Amino acid sequence: MKKIVYLLFMIVITGSLNAQSPLKSGFQIVVRHGGIGGLVGNNAVSVRISILKDSATATEAVYSEEHKVTTNSNGLASLTVGNGSVIKGNFSVIHWGQGGYFIKTETDQTGTGTAYITTEIRPVTSVPYALYAEKSGSSTPGPKGNKGQKGQNGQNGQSAYDLWINQGYAGTKGNYISSLKGPQGPPGSSGGYTHYIGEAYGGGVIFYLWKENNGTEHGLICSLEDLSYTNVDSGQIWSNINNAAVDLSNEMMSSWDGNQNTEDIVNQPGHATSAAKLCQDYIGGGLTDWYLPSIDELKILWQNRFNVNKALEIYSAFGLLDRTSGFYWSSTEFGAGTAYSIGGWYGEIMPSDKSAPLFVRAVRSF
């Protein structure tokens, strides 16, 4: 007797329209067995993207397109919204400034495009100024107006030297210039730093420096190695609590204080495992005050990755920040089921599903 095995797919859309123009927005898709099982690698699926207007429950789309994508060995596939096979409408003429829009994602696990199911509907929360500029720039300019009459010349003003003389002072222009100079001040500090970006220090590599008003020097340090890898065996999820916000006030967690974010994540009721705890438990260079970086700290690390990698190439053969696929977790939450991550190759920032296994790099400060 033949056995029929059903594979349930969960499509996690990690792209966002917040940070880029709706024209040709990048999406990434992670496919899993049974929605929560292992990743499905090297599998063909169909994805239908629709743009809804005014309501997430709208029955008619103003635009829709279809994509044929294939997951890689890690269950990851990419697509570009606005670059698929058009089913309905014209993406380039959507009036994004008129009313609210929603992006609807449907998937067909067979890859044939005949058995779609809805996987997600989310709002398009912002439209960049560049898109408005593109639309407004297409208008026809009006006729050039007539040249106006030339105005009368104004009275000659007095020079600074004349005003100085009028105030009762006497002397040449050289005397006036000399009078503008104040006494010489005390010599200033060099303004230099004891440490430098790319220095092996404090159990890792320094990737940022700053000073307090009193001159006290501080910095951020990244670990010499990744704490997790994006594969089925060791990729780290953001948190086992993947459907409830850490911030109960429904406000965004800090974009810059990763240390506080890490404490909040680990102390969330019901917490058992997370990328934050992985960093908090890490011991690098004999130090234990590591944490999961915020999205701002992660951006700075990525901006300075050349200096960091030059040091890591010497001190840590397997610790380079040069992942060609996949994303690194930040400790900054995006919503109840998503948190911000940064792309390992181009450094793009987008919200990822909290249950997705991504890279983790720990940081600490001094």
Judge whether residue 364 has pLDDT over 70. Answer: yes
Prediction pTM value:
0.50
Tell me what pLDDT residue 313 has: 85
Q: Evaluate whether 310 touches 197 at the Cβ level (below 8 Å).
A: no
Judge whether residue 15 has pLDDT over 90. Answer: no
The larger pLDDT score, comparing residue 319 to residue 186, is at: 319
Longest dimension (CA), the chain: 115
Residue 6: band (very low, low, confident or very high) from pLDDT cuts 50, 70, 90: very low
Judge whether residue 10 has pLDDT over 50. Answer: no
Candidate ranges 159-163, 270-274, 322-326; pick with highest mean pLDDT: 270-274
Q: Evaluate whether 261 touches 339 at the Cβ level (below 8 Å).
A: no
- Which region among 9-23, 114-128, 168-182 has the lowest average model confidence (pLDDT)? 9-23
Residues 6+ apart with CB under 8 A from 106: 47, 48, 49, 50, 116, 117, 118, 119
End-to-end CA distance of the chain: 66
CA–CA gap between residue 23 and residue 82 (Å, rounded): 6
CA angle 300-304-306, nearest 5°?
155
Q: What is the number of other CB atoms lying within 10 angstroms of the CB of residue 60?
A: 9
Q: DSSP string spanning 172-209?
A: -HHHHHHHT--PPPPPPP----SS-TT-EETTEEEEEE
Q: For 252-263, how does the pLDDT look when each residue is reduced to its tens digit (9 = 90+)?
A: 578 999 999 999
Q: What is the mean pLDDT of the chain?
A: 79
Q: Evaluate whether 114 touches 56 at the Cβ level (below 8 Å).
A: no
Instruction: Give 65: exposed, middle or buried? Use CB within 10 Å, 0-12, 13-18, 19+.
Output: buried
CA–CA gap between residue 94 and residue 61 (Å, rounded): 11
Q: For 153-182, how does the pLDDT look when each residue is reduced to its tens digit (9 = 90+)?
A: 877 778 888 888 888 888 887 787 777 766
Tell me what pLDDT residue 283 has: 94
Tell me what pLDDT residue 220 has: 98
Tell me what pLDDT residue 277 has: 96
Nearest one of 9, 93, 113 to 51, comparing CA atoms: 93
Q: What is the set of domains in the chain, with CATH numbers?
A: 9-133 (2.60.40.10), 200-365 (no CATH)
Residue 12: band (very low, low, confident or very high) from pLDDT cuts 50, 70, 90: very low
Tell me what pLDDT residue 272 has: 96
DSSP letter at 242? -
Candidate ranges 69-73, 106-110, 265-269; pick with highest mean pLDDT: 265-269
- Cα dist. 323→195, 226, 305, 361 in Å? 27, 10, 12, 12
Q: Evaluate whether 97 touches 38 at the Cβ level (below 8 Å).
A: no
